[in-house]
Structure 1
Amino acid sequence: MESRFFIAPEQLEAFEAAARSGSFSAAARSLGKAQSTVSGLISNLEIDTGLTLFDRSGREPKLTAQGRSLLHDVRSLLNSYSRFEAKSRSLNAGLEESLTIAVDESAIDLGQLVQSLDRFYTEFGTVSVSLLHASGESAAALVREGKADVGIVLSQSDYPEDFDFRGVGSCSFVLVSGKSHSLAALEKVSIQDLHNHLHLRISANSDPASLPENDLSDRIWYLESYSLCMAMLTAGLGWAFAPLHIARPYIESGAITVLNTDFQLTPYPYCTDLIWSRRKTLGPAGRRLIDEISHSLSTEGTEAA
């Protein structure tokens, strides 16, 4: 029967430190241990594995071929130990193992969301995060069904009784078309002008009856993403209401243009809400995530002035 041996993490730490620093004394200083302790840990590791890990014939120990072969695996094991210890501490402290966020891209500049998540990761690196692309009402449905912990959505007039929400910012919608579209040549665009051309709409907006683009054309194509919408507008196909934070790069590059209208002189403003269900209590990570996004949007806003 094949014998098994137990390798202590301290042995692996001593081996890795000596390999990295080039000497047992330097490894001892980096670990805050006596040199004799580090030497003993490495010697015991060699006895337990039956391998010679360091050549001690010179002034300083040098990794043998066997030692070099094991070094990568040792570092992987030490990283796994560190993650295990961090996650154990987090779970004992009541920290969530994972969070799921349903994101309506029309409600938030994704660059700002990434900045918020970067700050969140610095504090809660052991928490696994899933981001779901969910426009409008589908984001609220995911939260209601327990499939998402937090939703980032355009503000709705009424939420279910078991929902909590926080207004955190605002965004603007602009009327746009491709530079080559006939609407772009008009000094002022009327409702009748829009009625005569193809309207591109995102199919899952939060409250279709409340959005300004309703019934402005009898020719409507429904799309699931703004990236597809921008591609079609750039090609000169149709017009759309789009969030300024999504349309801005295409406007600045000259691919699409903002249409001047005789019925709306300023961009359509919408509020951005964070939503979550009272049925599922948010832990420290979920609460921090809400605070991070709230801070980002309330101090910077989803739209640049």
Structure 2
Amino acid sequence: MDSRFFIAPEQLEAFEAAARSGSFSAAARSLGKAQSTISGLISNLEIDTGLQLFDRSGREPKLTAQGRALLQDVRALLNSYSRFEAKSHSLSAGLEESITVAIDESAIDLNRLVRGLSPFYQRYSTVSLNLLHASGDSAAKLVREGAADIGIILSQGDYPEDFDFRGVGSCSFVLVAGVQHAIAEQESVSSQDLHDHLHLRISAAGDQGSLPENDLSDRIWYLESYSLFMKLLTAGLGWAFVPLHIARPYLDAGTIKVLPTDFQLTPYPYGTDLIWSRRKALGPAGQSLIDEISCVLAAAEAEPA
């Protein structure tokens, strides 16, 4: 005899609602069904499983030990079914299954990025987001190679013909060093002073970058993320150009300081762009993500300095 049986989601839903609410009548109200329907679904579930899930000897049904043992598994199954149903509806509507975003932290305040991701999640909870750290020009490279759908980067002078982009704001840089560094004690810093000390730079492996800071020192350490970068800087192991949104907490804490120079630096700020490739068309979720990020960055630009 075949011992396999089919359990309908409605049976599991009725069982979970009754267990949660404490009665068949309350479960019926919460699910918008007749009490007799709920009672029938649970009875059929007990028949199909061969288990007594509720003790009906009292005024209200109570979970048996067998019912309690199954409750968490039932809830897990219902959650999985809900996710499956939502994702299948999304895919049939043309939504992307996942979106990959390559992010250059120099180009965007991550706190502001989160403000754009939160409403996106509320609208597209079935779409998986892959958020990649990509310093220097590597974000644009990932988009060009199809490894990322969207890039958040410092503006470049020229993009390939198959790129689309949207300017979404600007990013200011400041020349800083740790307060422990000897150069931080000087009233005025010359280009020769910078040349004589270690320069810390954010850059992907093998990428010399495009910012006009390359010729200021021949003593350079390259790092791929700001986590170790800022630790080295605050420890007094060099000077650097740092995005203001990253430098600000350290400036406020007094662990780094802006260096006064006796020469003209290349004007800042740099623009921030969102980029994507025309060869890999964005679906509705990708377009919405660009709109959400653009919106929060535009609002940030309007805030007083």
**TM category, shorter:** over 0.9
Q: Distance in 2 between matches of 1:107 and 1:73?
A: 45
Name the stretch that deviates more: 219-228 or 238-247: 219-228
Amino acid at match of 1:108: I
SS at match of 2:180: coil
Aligned residue-pair number: 305
Question: Is the Cα contact below 8 Å between 1:174 and 1:267 reproduced in 2?
Answer: no
Tell me how large the CA RMSD over aligned residues is: 1.9
User: Is 1:193 aligned to residue 201 of structure 2?
Assistant: no
- The equivalences for 1:256-295 within 5 A come to 256-264=256-264, 268-295=268-295
Question: Is the Cα contact below 8 Å between 2:204 and 2:224 reproduced in 1?
Answer: yes
Equivalence for 1:151: 151
Q: 1:209 to 1:26 in 2, by over 3 A?
A: closer
Q: 1:290 to 1:209 in 2, by over 3 A?
A: closer
> Alpha-carbon deviation of 1:212?
2.9
> Alpha-carbon deviation of 1:114?
1.3
SS at match of 2:16: helix
Question: Is the Cα contact below 8 Å between 1:136 and 1:206 reproduced in 2?
Answer: no
> Alpha-carbon deviation of 1:227?
1.6
| 1:141-180 alpha-carbon deviations (Å, 9 max, x no partner) | 1001110000000000000010000000111111010101
SS at match of 1:201: strand
Q: Distance in 2 between matches of 1:206 and 1:271?
A: 24
Q: 1:209 to 1:5 in 2, by over 3 A?
A: closer
SS at match of 2:117: helix
SS at match of 1:273: strand
Equivalence for 1:161: 161
Between the aligned residues of both structures, percent identity stands at 79
Equivalence for 1:42: 42
> Alpha-carbon deviation of 1:262?
2.2
Equivalence for 1:26: 26
User: Is 1:71 aligned to residue 71 of structure 2?
Assistant: yes
Q: Distance in 1 between matches of 2:99 and 2:63?
A: 43
Amino acid at match of 1:112: R
SS at match of 1:268: coil
| 1:100-157 alpha-carbon deviations (Å, 9 max, x no partner) | 0000010001111112111110000000110111113111110011100000000000
Q: 1:71 to 1:184 in 2, by over 3 A?
A: same
Q: 1:284 to 1:77 in 2, by over 3 A?
A: same
Name the stretch that deviates more: 33-42 or 179-188: 179-188
Question: Is the Cα contact below 8 Å between 1:137 and 1:205 reproduced in 2?
Answer: no
> Alpha-carbon deviation of 1:44?
0.4
Question: Is the Cα contact below 8 Å between 1:156 and 1:206 reproduced in 2?
Answer: no
- The equivalences for 1:1-305 within 5 A come to 2-204=2-204, 210-264=210-264, 268-301=268-301, 305=305
Q: Distance in 2 between matches of 1:153 and 1:68?
A: 53
> Alpha-carbon deviation of 1:206?
12
SS at match of 2:7: coil
Q: Distance in 2 between matches of 1:39 and 1:19?
A: 12
Question: Is the Cα contact below 8 Å between 1:177 and 1:259 reproduced in 2?
Answer: yes
Runs of 4+ aligned structure 1 residues displaced above 2 Å come to 203-210, 262-268, 301-304
Question: Is the Cα contact below 8 Å between 1:101 and 1:150 reproduced in 2?
Answer: yes
> Alpha-carbon deviation of 1:203?
2.3
Amino acid at match of 1:294: S
Amino acid at match of 1:202: I
Question: Is the Cα contact below 8 Å between 2:137 and 2:209 reproduced in 1?
Answer: no
Q: Distance in 1 between matches of 2:184 and 2:297?
A: 32
Q: Distance in 1 between matches of 2:267 and 2:72?
A: 56
Q: Distance in 1 between matches of 2:25 and 2:137?
A: 63
SS at match of 1:12: helix
